[in-house]
């Protein structure tokens, strides 16, 4: 096992970014970088020490690489902010990579140079030698999972969520496209159609929402799903009209209305005017273009605004 130590502003957010990463055995929130021999949230959060909020990651280098951990780190911060992170201001919330070995230092420096090409401003994130790390109080550990609603509210209110989506969404979508299966790529990127009655969600009945497999934008709800007899997942309404676009399709010698996701521009399927009331619409989708999020996971995945649908 090896260790990596990153300061990325609020340690709740940095910890959350690594929790489910393959190869990561443990993520601990804490304090590092100061000369003081003790650290507490009361002192660090008020700037009474020179420590930064940070996380220490224990990982298996055979299952994940330091470069992969660095990639996650950069895509969860604003590296140009020299005064803190988002609404959290002060030295204690500034960003830094604390290297444990010369090899980590070289890799961190290399990625910092590459990241600088993504921004017009100078990169403020420091690369420093690791010295000591003090674990934060127990109530700060695994905060995002234990206090999901408060955590998601904080992430949005702080401005972090909006910045990360705007800065990294395009790169995220491209990465997700590379990870698509052959069928998912055929459907979403080449306007393909999967076989009826032999796809993942055609008879799926669990409560939750369906999101775009590339971007994660919410599209449909199980509360609007019905059995159409076509062999594909079918809905009589859209969960969020702003997340879809409609396009005229004459590819089969007749005019149909294609449905695409707005952010990812994925081909989803087609909509017809022979559906049930109250809309009279039949949104006939491809399972390969969708990812299902169970109602019990909505808060954890950031879709808590749709919880009311299942009460």
What pLDDT sits at residue 252? 74
CA distances from residue 119 to 79, 107, 116, 123, 168 in whole angstroms, order as listed: 9, 19, 6, 8, 11
pLDDT (tens digit per residue) in 167-198: 776 666 676 777 899 999 999 999 999 999 99
Looking at 121, 142, 172, the residue that finishes a domain is 172
- Spatial neighbors of 152 by CB under 8 A, at least 6 apart, are 299, 302, 304
146 and 188 share one domain: no
Q: What are phi and psi of 258, to 5 degrees?
A: -80, 145
Quick one: which H or E segment has residue 186? helix 182-190
The domain that holds 131 is classified in CATH as 3.30.1060.10
Number of separate domains in the chain = 2
Whether 69 is in a domain gets the answer yes
**Residue 191 CB neighbour total at 10 angstroms:** 17
Q: What 3-state class would DSSP assign to 115?
A: helix
Residue 176: phi and psi, rounded to 5, are: -65, -35
From the list 17, 97, 284, 298, the catalytic residue is 284
Q: What angle do CA 153, 154, 155 make, to 5 degrees?
A: 95
The yes-or-no answer on residue 13 being catalytic is: no
Answer yes or no: do 77 and 155 share one domain: yes
- 219 and 167 in a common domain: no
101 CA to centre of own chain: 29
**Terminal-residue alpha carbon distance, the chain:** 44
Q: Is residue 177 part of a domain?
A: no
Helix axis angle, 148-158 to 11-18, nearest 10°: 110
Compute the distance between CA of residue 223 and CA of residue 234 in angstroms, rounded to an integer.
11
Which domain range does residue 295 map to?
A: 182-310
Q: Is the pTM of this model over 0.85?
A: no
Whether 289 contacts 215, CB under 8 Å? no
CA distances from 150 to 90, 230, 293 (A): 22, 42, 20
**Statement to judge: residues 132 and 272 lie in one domain:** no
Residue 234 · residue 268 · CB < 8 Å: no
Q: What is the CATH number of the domain that holds 269?
A: 2.170.150.20
Give the separation between CA 207 and CA 216, rounded to whole angstroms: 17
- 145 & 209 share domain: no
Query: What does the pLDDT read at residue 170?
Result: 64
Contact in structure between 7 and 33 (CB atoms under 8 Å): yes
Residues 6 or more apart whose CB falls under 8 angstroms from that of 293 comprise 208, 209, 210, 211, 301, 303
The dihedral of CA 44, 46, 47, 48: what is its sign?
negative
Going residue by residue through the chain (311 aa), what tens digit of pLDDT does each one get? 999 999 999 999 999 999 888 899 999 999 999 999 889 999 999 999 999 999 999 999 998 899 989 989 998 999 999 999 999 999 999 999 999 999 999 999 999 998 888 788 899 999 999 999 999 999 999 999 899 889 999 998 999 888 887 777 666 667 677 789 999 999 999 999 999 999 999 999 999 999 999 888 899 999 999 999 999 999 999 998 989 999 999 887 788 999 999 988 999 999 999 999 999 999 999 999 999 999 998 877 778 889 899 98
Secondary structure, 3-state, 134-173: EECCHHHCCHHHHCHHHHHHHHHHHCHHHHHHHHHHHHHH
Q: Are residues 136 and 255 in the same domain?
A: no
Give the active site residue among 4, 7, 10, 77. 10
What gap in Å lies between CA 171 and CA 284, rounded to an integer?
A: 29
Same domain, 99 and 230: no
The set of residues, in sequence order, having a beta carbon less than 8 Å from that of 305 and lying 6+ positions away, is none
Q: What is the pLDDT of residues 201-246, one digit of tens each?
A: 999 999 999 999 988 889 999 999 999 999 999 999 999 898 999 9
Tell me the pairing of strands 84-85 and 88-89. antiparallel
Return the structure tokens found at 44. 């660090």
Tokens representing 20 are 């489910």
Same domain, 80 and 223: no
Residue 10 annotated among the catalytic residues of the structure: yes
**188 vs 285: CA distance, rounded Å:** 11
């Amino acid at each position: 096992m090896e260790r990596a130590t990153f300061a990325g502003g609020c340690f709740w957010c940095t910890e959350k970014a690594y929790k489910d990463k393959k190869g990561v055995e443990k993520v601990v929130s804490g304090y590092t970088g100061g000369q003081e021999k003790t650290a507490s949230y009361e002192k660090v959060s008020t700037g009474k020490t020179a420590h930064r909020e940070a996380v220490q990651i224990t990982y298996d280098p055979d299952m994940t690489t330091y470069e992969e951990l660095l990639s996650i780190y950069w895509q969860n911060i604003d590296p140009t902010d020299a005064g803190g992170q988002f609404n959290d201001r002060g030295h204690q919330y500034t960003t830094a990579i604390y290297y444990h070995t010369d090899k980590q230092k070289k890799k961190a420096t290399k990625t910092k140079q590459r990241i600088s090409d993504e921004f017009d401003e100078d990169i403020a994130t420091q690369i420093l030698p690791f010295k000591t790390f003090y674990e934060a109080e127990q109530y700060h550990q695994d905060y995002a999972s234990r206090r999901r609603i408060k955590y998601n509210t904080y992430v949005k209110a702080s401005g972090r969520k909006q910045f990360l989506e705007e800065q990294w969404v395009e790169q995220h979508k491209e990465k997700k496209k590379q990870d698509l299966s052959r069928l998912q790529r055929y459907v979403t990127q080449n306007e393909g159609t999967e076989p009826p009655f032999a796809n993942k969600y055609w008879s799926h009945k669990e409560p939750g929402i369906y999101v775009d497999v590339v971007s994660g934008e919410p599209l449909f709800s199980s509360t609007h799903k019905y059995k159409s007899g076509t062999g594909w997942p079918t809905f009589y309404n859209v969960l969020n009209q702003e997340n879809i676009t409609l396009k005229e399709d004459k590819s089969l010698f007749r005019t149909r209305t294609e449905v695409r996701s707005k952010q990812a521009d994925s081909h989803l399927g087609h909509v017809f005017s022979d559906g049930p009331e109250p809309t009279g619409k039949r949104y006939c989708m491809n399972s390969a273009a969708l990812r299902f999020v169970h109602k019990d996971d909505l808060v954890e995945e950031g879709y808590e605004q749709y919880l009311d649908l299942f009460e």
